Amino acid sequence: INECSSFPCVNGGQCINGLNVYQCACQSGFTGTNCETDIQECASNPCQHGGICQDGRNNYQCDCQSGWQGFNCEIDINECNSSPCINGICNNLVDRFTCDCYPGWTGITCDSDFDECGSDPCQNGATCINGINNFDCECSPGWQGEICSIDINECSSMPCQNNGTCANLQTDLNVNASLDLKEFSVKETSMSVRAHLVFMVDFALMNQTTCSAARVNLAILAEIVKLGICQDEINGYNCVCQPGFTGTRCETNIDECESNPCQNQGNCINRPTVGYDCECFDGFQGTNCEIDLDECDSSPCMNGGICVDGPNQFTCICPQGWSGVLCETVIGCRVNISLPADQYLEIQSPNYPNFYQDNEDCRWIVRAPTGHTLSVSIVDFITEENYDVLSFGTGSNPADSGSKVLEMSGMMSETVEEFINLNHMWVTFRSDSDKVERGFSLEIRDVGFQ
Tell me, what's the pLDDT at 209? 36
More confident position, 169 or 403: 403
- Rounded CA gap, 365 and 197, in Å? 83
Are 138 and 49 members of one domain?
Answer: no
Tell me, what's the pLDDT at 420? 67
User: What pTM did the predictor assign?
Assistant: 0.36
CATH code, domain with 282: 2.10.25.10
Amino acid letter, residue 430: R
Q: Return the SS3 of 117.
A: helix
- Rounded CA gap, 327 and 245, in Å? 53
Output b/e per residue, 1-30; b: 16+ Cβ within 10 A. eeebeeebbebebebeeeeeebebebbebb
Are 337 and 442 members of one domain?
Answer: yes
Tell me, what's the pLDDT at 49? 92
Angle, vertex CA 137, rays to CA 134 and CA 141, nearest 5: 170
Q: Is residue 190 part of a domain?
A: yes
More confident position, 390 or 241: 390
Determine the length of the chain: 450
Q: Is the pLDDT of residue 189 over 70?
A: no
Q: Is residue 372 part of a domain?
A: yes
- Rounded CA gap, 22 and 2, in Å? 8
Are 275 and 182 members of one domain?
Answer: no
Domain count, the chain: 6
Q: Is the pLDDT of residue 1 over 80?
A: no
- Rounded CA gap, 62 and 46, in Å? 8
Q: Is the pLDDT of residue 212 over 60?
A: no
Are 200 and 186 members of one domain?
Answer: yes
Tell me, what's the pLDDT at 160? 75
Residue 429 sits at φ, ψ, to 5 deg, of -140, 125
Are 243 and 340 members of one domain?
Answer: no
Smallest Cα–Cα separation from 185: which of 223, 135, 142, 136? 223
- Rounded CA gap, 412 and 440, in Å? 10
Helices marked H in 179-304: 191-200, 211-214, 218-225
Cis peptide bond prior to 353, omega within 30° of 0: yes
Q: Is residue 83 part of a domain?
A: no
Q: How far is CA 250 from CA 7, 46, 229, 273, 408, in A?
A: 127, 97, 16, 11, 72
| CA 274 centroid distance within chain | 17
Smallest Cα–Cα separation from 429: which of 366, 364, 355, 374? 364
Are 266 and 245 members of one domain?
Answer: no
CATH code, domain with 428: 2.60.120.290
Residues 30, 13 contacting (CB under 8 angstroms): yes
Residues 151, 235 contacting (CB under 8 angstroms): no
Residues 330, 336 contacting (CB under 8 angstroms): no
Q: Is residue 45 part of a domain?
A: yes
Q: Is the pLDDT of residue 198 over 50?
A: no
Residue 197 sits at φ, ψ, to 5 deg, of -65, -35
Are 232 and 205 members of one domain?
Answer: yes
Which structural domain, as residue segments, surrounds residue 420? 328-449
Q: Is residue 133 part of a domain?
A: yes
Are 406 and 437 members of one domain?
Answer: yes
Q: Is the pLDDT of residue 98 over 70?
A: yes
> Is residue 386 left, alpha or beta, with left meaning phi > 0 and alpha meaning psi from -120 to 50?
left
Residue 114 sits at φ, ψ, to 5 deg, of -70, 130
Residues 109, 99 contacting (CB under 8 angstroms): yes
Are 181 and 123 members of one domain?
Answer: no
Residue 336 sits at φ, ψ, to 5 deg, of -105, 130
Q: Is the pLDDT of residue 167 over 70?
A: no
Q: What is the largest CA-CA distance in the chain?
A: 219
Q: Is residue 90 part of a domain?
A: no
Say how many CA atoms lie within 13 Å of 422 toward its Cβ.
Answer: 23
Q: Tell me: the pLDDT tens digits for 318-347?
A: 887 788 899 888 888 888 888 888 888 899
Q: Is residue 93 part of a domain?
A: no
Smallest Cα–Cα separation from 50: which of 38, 68, 36, 34? 68
Are 392 and 424 members of one domain?
Answer: yes
- Rounded CA gap, 179 and 192, in Å? 14
When pLDDT is cut at 50, 70 and 90, the band that residue 236 belongs to is low
Residues 105, 88 contacting (CB under 8 angstroms): yes
Are 69 and 138 members of one domain?
Answer: no
Residues 54, 61 contacting (CB under 8 angstroms): yes
Q: Tell me: the pLDDT tens digits for 146-161?
A: 999 988 877 777 777 7
Smallest Cα–Cα separation from 441: which of 375, 359, 373, 348? 348
Are 339 and 376 members of one domain?
Answer: yes
Q: Is residue 22 part of a domain?
A: yes
* Mean pLDDT over each residue of the chain, to the nearest integer: 81
Residues 156, 139 contacting (CB under 8 angstroms): no
